Amino acid sequence: AQSVTQLDSHVSVSEGTPVLLRCNYSSSYSPSLFWYVQHPNKGLQLLLKYTSAATLVKGINGFEAEFKKSETSFHLTKPSAHMSDAAEYFCVVKGNTGFQKLVFGTGTRLLVSP
Amino acid sequence: GAGVSQSPSNKVTEKGKDVELRCDPISGHTALYWYRQSLGQGLEFLIYFQGNSAPDKSGLPSDRFSAERTGGSVSTLTIQRTQQEDSAVYLCASSLAGQTNQPQHFGDGTRLSIL
């Protein structure tokens, strides 16, 4: 079975400083991993995905994530936070055999202060 | 192009009533998914459609919940005899296919409140 653990429920940064949102996964198979963002009263928007190609994945809005199999991690980073980045971020895992539903982490709320 | 459309965006109803939630997926997406997002439970998978059939309905919490999809497009999630614990945001997603790594695209959800 697949699972993800988001290590921080809240992360606070100042505008212009780097962002690090941590995620560890557990999977019996070579997983597909995703990061989604959810702004208030909105659905989830895909930021980026890893599907066993390049381990460093670049997404939208300057975000990127690195798949590290040895550490079973898929942390999300951004060099410089913007006020508009304040939202809830979900790390998601999906198995690669047959239909595998998305399994969501509990989410990390990113707070950005001026 | 148009994204996943859900209606209504908000629904308030009395305990014991039936509700229907609608999802209109992205055109051409054969796979459709329903999730529930509630406080304390996070995001939970409910049901998956491939075309009009539902190969995986393992996440439906009780027999009061049902869903159908017609014409390989619009899907309806029905909750009968609603209970207060059904209050949540119900999210629909669609993708090009279910058994690949195609990303799922989400609608804005229906916020359901049971009084």
Over the stretch B69-86, which tens digit does the pLDDT of each residue have? 988 899 999 999 999 999
Examine the pLDDT at B102 and tell me if it is beyond 70: yes
Run means of pLDDT, 10 residues per run, chain A, 114 residues: 91 98 88 92 90 88 94 96 96 78 92 96
pLDDT at B40 over 80: no
Contact B55 A99 (CB under 8 A): yes
Which pLDDT score, from 0 to 100, does residue B97 have? Answer: 77
pLDDT tier, B56 (very low <50, low <70, confident <90, very high otherwise) = confident
Among B43, B97, B39, which residue's Cα sits nearest to residue A90?
B43
A42, B108: Cβ pair inside 8 Å? yes
A49 vs B: CB within 8 A: yes
pLDDT at A96: 67
Half-sphere exposure of residue B3: CA atoms within 13 angstroms, side-chain side: 15
Q: How far is CA B95 from the centre of its chain?
A: 14
A96 part of contact set with chain B, CB < 8 Å: yes
Among A19, A20, A14, A28, residue whose Cα is nearest residue A74: A20
Which residue in B104, B105, B111 has the most chain A C-beta atoms within 10 A of its own C-beta, making it the best mutation to test that interface? B104
- The angle at the Cα of B78, spanning B72 to B84, to the nearest 5 degrees, equals 150
Instruction: Please report the pLDDT score of residue B98 as a whole number.
Output: 65
The span from the CA of B23 to the CA of B35, in Å, is 12
pLDDT of residue A17: 98
Report pLDDT for B4.
95
* Contact across the interface for A46 and B105, Cβ inside 8 Å: yes
Which of B97 and B113 is assigned the larger pLDDT?
A: B113
Q: Specify which residues A64 forms β-bridges with.
A: A58, A77
Q: Residue B104 is nearest to which of A51, A102, A106, comparing CB atoms?
A: A102
Between residues B41 and A5, the one the model is more confident about: A5
Segment of B14-23, B41-50, B93-102 carrying the highest mean pLDDT: B14-23
Tell me, what's the pLDDT at A40? 86
CB contact under 8 A, A99 and B98: yes
Rama region for A47: left / alpha / beta (φ>0; ψ in -120 to 50; rest): alpha
CB contact under 8 A, A49 and B99: no
B-chain CB neighbours of A102 within 8 Å are 33, 35, 45, 104
Which pair of tokens denotes residue B60?
């439906």
Question: Looking at residue A109, what is its pLDDT?
Answer: 96
The confidence score (pLDDT) of residue A98 equals 67
